[in-house]
Structure formats: structure tokens, C-alpha cells
Homo-oligomer: A and B are copies of this chain.
């Protein structure tokens, strides 16, 4: 049951018809999603997330916070630029330096 849809649509001030038109589906189809009468296909679900400028996980009302924990080592390995500082992505080098930097600091703290 996709209870987020109604609030997302109202935030845009759209009728079901208008939403359906933008998605290229019948209004009864879209109404079915909001009422819980039907579930969209995965493609339709992705289209809806795009239209509402949100994530699929949000529409599905899934908890993602606990999933958003990043082990810096893994981050380094993945080579994806997930961390940003002052609007500029962190380079692998910067991240590597930071890891070394912090490890040393932690070691030093141990001896206090």
C-alpha cells in the first residue's frame, strides 16, 4: 500500500487525471495505486518516483537510515565518490589520507 503517493501528488497540486496523463497511464490505473487496489509494475514505480522527484524507497515507505552507514574502507574500495566537501567530491587520495590520519590519531589517544 503506497500511502505516500497521495501526499506527493497533493504537494504538486495535481489531480489523479493530471498525474496519470504525465505518466501516460489511465487515471483508473493510477487511482488503483493510491487506493491500494493495485500495485504498479516496477517500471511504473520508477516512473512515479521520477515524476515526483523522489526515491522508490520513499514511496515504498522503507527505512533507509540504518542502511546509510558507510565503512570508510569499503568506500575506498568501491571508488565511488560518495563523500563531498565544499561541493567538490572527495578524491580517493584524500580519503586514503584521512583514514591514515584518523588511525594515527586514534592510536595516540590510546596512550593517554
Contact = CB atoms under 8 A, between A and B. Distances in A.
Contacts of A90: 72, 102
A67 interface: yes
B53 A71 contact: no
Nearest to A40: B42
A72 B85 CA distance: 5
A69 B84 CA distance: 7
A108 interface: no
B84 A72 contact: yes
Interface string A69-92: 111110000000111111110100
B94 A83 contact: no
Interface string A21-62: 000000000000000000111110110010001111100101
